[in-house]
Structure 1
Amino acid sequence: MAGDAAATRASILRAAIAEFSEFGYRGGRIERVSAMSGANKRMIYVHFGDKEGLFSAALHAVLSRLTAEVPITEDDLPGYAVRLFDHLESHPEAARLSAWRQLERPDLGPDNDDLYRGKFGALSPGSPGPQDEALVVDALVLLQGMAAARQISGAEALHALAAGRPAAEDRARYRHSLGIAARSVVERLLGS
């Protein structure tokens, strides 16, 4: 019985990630999550409480996966940005859910401090002062923003700028440019 509950919860969560990634919090519908997951609406509420709880769980799941699959190490911050880009290209739901949260529900959980504390800790120089801590946060925000830029840029602009180049070639060029830009950010802000 416990296995059935875990499987039902996982199925609902997968469906919620797909639903909220495409339609956001406001446009997401519990009825579609129910249909995609094969779980009745009552089970969704049993497992997640309400729509906010379901959205929070979906966001936390994709961010937890991202954190686990894209570790950050102080000695390879430019590499982190490129690995993050690769992850977001193959798992766009992380950038999409984060964007929907910022647009529609910036005050809505989940409390992801635990995920970001780990990233911040990997970047923190020994005994930083307040200014150093601010630079570390700035560096992390810039690296994450550059890695997600293709995900959040308008598709029309990307297609127009690609000027007929194959998508794989355009992606490889951006990935290379990201590595160069990330090295520059790290060198200039953190002196490493």
Structure 2
Amino acid sequence: MQARDAAATRARILGAAIAEFSAVGFSGARIDRIAEQSGTNKRMIYVYYGDKEGLFTATLHEVITKLVTAVALDPDDLAGYAGSMFDYLVDHPEALRIAAWRQLERPTAGPETTEIYAEKVAALPAAGEARPPTALPPTDLLVLVQGMAGAWLSTPVELLSHDGSDPRSPQRLATHRAALVEAVRRIVA
């Protein structure tokens, strides 16, 4: 029973930390708020995660690992990959926010994802290879596809709503997703 309570407490703390760090980054995050939101005391955060840096690292590990592994890369369907990555980011907005805060405040912190990205890049065709042929180096191609998948969620709302639509409505998201998939299809065609 004690282990289950400890696991539940750790999970509550991590959930509150994900919300806090994704909202305000490492520098803006407050352990007091995380403790309050998780329904625990600050001491338990320090017991389970060491310090704020340890909690941020655990948060990065949880969110970034899920982000880079959640959507399988099909090298023969990069357009489908882009659409699936977009869907994941819409469903998990904290992922893009945490990744951005990581780049801004702690670019070397978090999980080691070099191998995961190396596998994805190695699966892509080299420039000029068939499957599909492309003039883009694989690393650049993956950067562009992932960047395009997250662009809608990091673009100012004034631009997103310029056409008068609600940029978060299911219809508008579906329209943008279709445009994203078509754009990636054209890049690799």
Q: Could you tell me the TM-score, scaled by structure 2's length?
A: 0.85
Instruction: Report what 2:183 is aligned to.
Output: 181
| 8 Å Cα contact 1:78/1:179 also seen in 2 | yes
- From 151, 154, 157, the equivalent of 1:152 is 154
User: Offset of 1:50 from its aligned partner?
Assistant: 1.7
Cα distance in 1 for partners of 2:186, 2:113 equals 28
Instruction: Within 5 Å, give how 1:29-44 maps onto structure 2.
Output: 29-44=30-45
CA contact (8 A) 1:59 1:94 kept: no
Structure-2 residue corresponding to 1:190? none
Distance 1:46 1:185 in 2: 50
Change (3 A) 1:2 1:113: farther
- Corresponding residue number in structure 2 for 1:6: 7
Opposite residue 38 of structure 1, the aligned amino acid is G
Q: Distance in 2 between matches of 1:124 and 1:11?
A: 42
What does the per-residue CA deviation read over 1:36-56, in whole Å, with 9 as the maximum and x for residues that have no partner? 111211211222222122112
What code does the residue aligned with 1:148 have?
A: G
The answer to whether residue 63 in structure 2 is matched with residue 57 in structure 1 is: no
- Checking the alignment, whether the CA contact within 8 Å between 2:64 and 2:111 is kept in structure 1 is no
Indicate the residue corresponding to 2:92 in structure 1. Answer: 91
SS of 2:108 mapped into structure 1: coil
> Taking structure 1 as reference, are residues 164 and 184 closer, same or farther at Cα in structure 2, changes over 3 Å only?
closer
1:31-180 to structure 2, matched below 5 A, reads: 31-123=32-124, 135-159=137-161, 161-164=162-165, 167-180=169-182
Q: In structure 2, do the counterparts of structure 1 residues 179 and 103 end up closer, same or farther at CA, with 3 Å as the change threshold? A: same
Contact 2:89 2:96 in 1 (8 A): yes
Q: Which residue of 2 aligns with 1:22?
A: 23
- Per the alignment, in what secondary structure is the counterpart of residue 112 of structure 2? coil
Q: In structure 2, how many angstroms separate the alpha carbons of the residues matched to 1:38 and 1:115?
A: 35
Partners in 1 of 2:11 and 2:115 — Cα distance? 22
Once the two structures are TM-superposed, the CA of residue 22 in structure 1 deviates from its matched residue by 0.8
C-alpha distance 60-75 of structure 1, shift in aligned 2 (>3 A): same
Question: Which is helix-richer, 1 or 2?
Answer: 1
Q: Write the distance in 2 (CA, Å) between the matches of 1:62 and 1:21.
A: 10
Q: Map Cα deviations across residues 95-143 of structure 1 (whole Å, 9 max, x no partner).
A: 0001111122223333232442343343366xx9xxx9x8111111111
Could you tell me how far 1:171 is from its partner in structure 2? 1.4
How big is each residue's C-alpha offset from its partner over 1:56-85, in whole Å with a ceiling of 9 and x where there is no partner? Answer: 211221222234431112121110100000
Whether the aligned pair in 2 keeps the contact of 1:60 and 1:112 (CA below 8 Å) is no
Q: TM-score w.r.t. structure 1 length? A: 0.84
Q: Matched residues, percent identical?
A: 50
- Code of the residue aligned with 1:147 in structure 2: it is A
Q: Which residue identity does 1:149 align to in structure 2?
A: A
Runs of 4+ in structure 1 over 6 Å off: none
In structure 2, C-alpha distance between the alignment counterparts of 1:119 and 1:11, rounded to whole Å? 32
Q: C-alpha root-mean-square deviation of aligned residues, in Å?
A: 2.2
- Are the structure 2 counterparts of residues 45 and 119 from structure 1 closer, same or farther at C-alpha, using a change threshold of 3 Å? farther
Q: List alignment gaps of at least 5 residues for structure 1.
A: 188-192
